[in-house]
């Protein structure tokens, strides 16, 4: 049941990868509303019962519960806790508190969400309309948006400036060292996830990583002896990030690992059929991760990017098997 005088007008639940969207939404809403938004979850709840502190705003201490939804929401540690609290609140008769935003059209909606419940597609409405609709829902639930005060505007400005400063430090020696640790972690996580796939026996993915500090290129290579994929971290100068980045290439045939070049030869030259670029990113929680080049609405941890790349490789195998990938000529 909703508290008589809740501390928050809005509580936002989101996946780590959607933090950029959540932060923009928080910034807009917090100009006139009190918003529960914790990008670094438990770390911001020091001295409290973290699980209960994450449950209460959704269960009874906010007028509106906003879910930024895609398929993996509710399956991570914190969103699972938040989902349970949101379901408990809704099943207790508080469906009018739930504001459900679908971030993509492909994710199947939760089975517990009634078909009649109003939900918003991010692609159709965008930020401005969704912010207006949330404010209206807050009013319907007894809230009163307040005018933006100079003090609050200064707080927002200070937070934004501090984030920009911390982001500029990614090119410092300490920042570059953290990025390289992330590259190494990414390769290690890819190998781990390939091992999990291989253990099931449905597909056998061979891999080789070549990570040596000081190299211009760091690489991780995948193949099933029919198609190949490479992930390459390129950094021309060890002390700057200019023109650096992570590049993912797909190939339409087997590729040779570095350790095989001296004693094996391919009868056909693999053709590169796709290229995807990623670059280092800093979350509002000051976690180093990745984003697709040109994207401003996504944040990927190394584990998340590893999963995406392994899934992409399995999709490549499927496309090859079904004739959707043109095979190299002899």
Question: For all residues of the chain together, what is the average pLDDT?
Answer: 90
Position 210 scores a pLDDT of: 92
Q: What is the pLDDT of residues 171-212, one digit of tens each?
A: 999 999 999 999 999 999 999 999 999 999 989 999 999 998
The mean pLDDT of 305-311, rounded to a whole number, is: 96
Q: What is the CATH number of domain 8-148?
A: 3.40.50.10140
Q: What share of the chain is helix, strand, coil (3-state, %, to 5)?
A: 40, 20, 40
| Whether the Cβ atoms of residue 315 and residue 224 lie closer than 8 Å to each other | no
Position 62 scores a pLDDT of: 96
Q: What is the pLDDT of residues 282-302, one digit of tens each?
A: 998 899 999 999 888 889 999
Q: ∠121-125-128 over CA atoms, to 5°?
A: 130
Give dist(CA 320, CA 323) in Å, integer: 5
- State residue 308 phi and psi, 5-degree precision: -60, -45
Q: Which tokens go with 82?
A: 């938040």
SS3 316: helix
Domain ranges across the chain: 8-148, 170-321
Q: At what angle do helices 77-91 and 50-59 cross, to 10 degrees?
A: 40
Residues 6+ apart with CB under 8 A from 77: none
Q: How confident is the model at residue 47 (pLDDT cuts 50, 70, 90)?
A: very low
Residues 6+ apart with CB under 8 A from 55: 81, 82, 84, 85
Q: What percentage of residues in the chain have a pLDDT greater than 70?
A: 96
Q: What is the pLDDT of residues 114-123, one digit of tens each?
A: 988 888 999 8
- State residue 280 phi and psi, 5-degree precision: -60, 145
Position 46 scores a pLDDT of: 45
């Amino acid at each position: 049941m909703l508290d008589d005088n809740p501390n928050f007008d809005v509580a936002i639940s989101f996946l780590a990868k959607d933090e950029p969207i959540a932060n923009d939404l928080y910034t807009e809403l917090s100009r006139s509303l009190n918003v529960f938004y914790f990008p670094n979850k438990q770390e911001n709840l020091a001295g409290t019962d973290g699980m209960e502190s994450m449950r209460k705003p959704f269960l009874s201490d906010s007028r509106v519960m906003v879910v930024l939804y895609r398929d993996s929401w509710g399956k991570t540690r914190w969103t699972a806790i938040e989902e349970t609290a949101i379901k408990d609140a809704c099943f207790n008769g508080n469906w009018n508190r739930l504001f459900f935003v679908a971030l993509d059209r492909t994710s199947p909606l939760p089975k517990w969400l009634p078909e009649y419940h109003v939900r918003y597609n991010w692609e159709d409405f965008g930020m401005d309309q969704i912010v207006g609709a949330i404010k209206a829902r807050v009013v319907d639930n007894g809230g009163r948006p307040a005018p933006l005060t100079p003090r609050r505007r200064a707080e927002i400005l200070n937070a934004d400036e501090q984030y920009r400063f911390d982001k500029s430090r990614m090119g410092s020696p300490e920042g570059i060292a953290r990025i390289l640790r992330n590259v190494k972690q990414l390769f290690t996580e890819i190998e781990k996830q390939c091992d999990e796939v291989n253990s099931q026996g449905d597909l056998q993915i061979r891999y080789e990583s070549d990570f040596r500090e000081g190299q211009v290129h760091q690489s991780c290579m995948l193949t099933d002896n029919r198609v190949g994929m490479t992930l390459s971290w390129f950094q021309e100068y060890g002390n700057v990030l200019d023109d650096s980045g992570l590049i993912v290439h797909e190939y339409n045939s087997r590729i040779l690992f570095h350790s095989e070049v001296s004693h094996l030869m391919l009868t056909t030259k693999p053709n590169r059929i796709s290229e995807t670029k990623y670059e280092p990113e800093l979350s509002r929680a000051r976690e180093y991760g990745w984003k697709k080049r040109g994207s401003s609405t996504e944040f990927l941890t190394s584990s998340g990017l590893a999963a995406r790349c392994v899934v992409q490789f399995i999709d490549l195998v499927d496309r090859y098997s079904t004739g959707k990938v043109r095979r190299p000529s002899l």
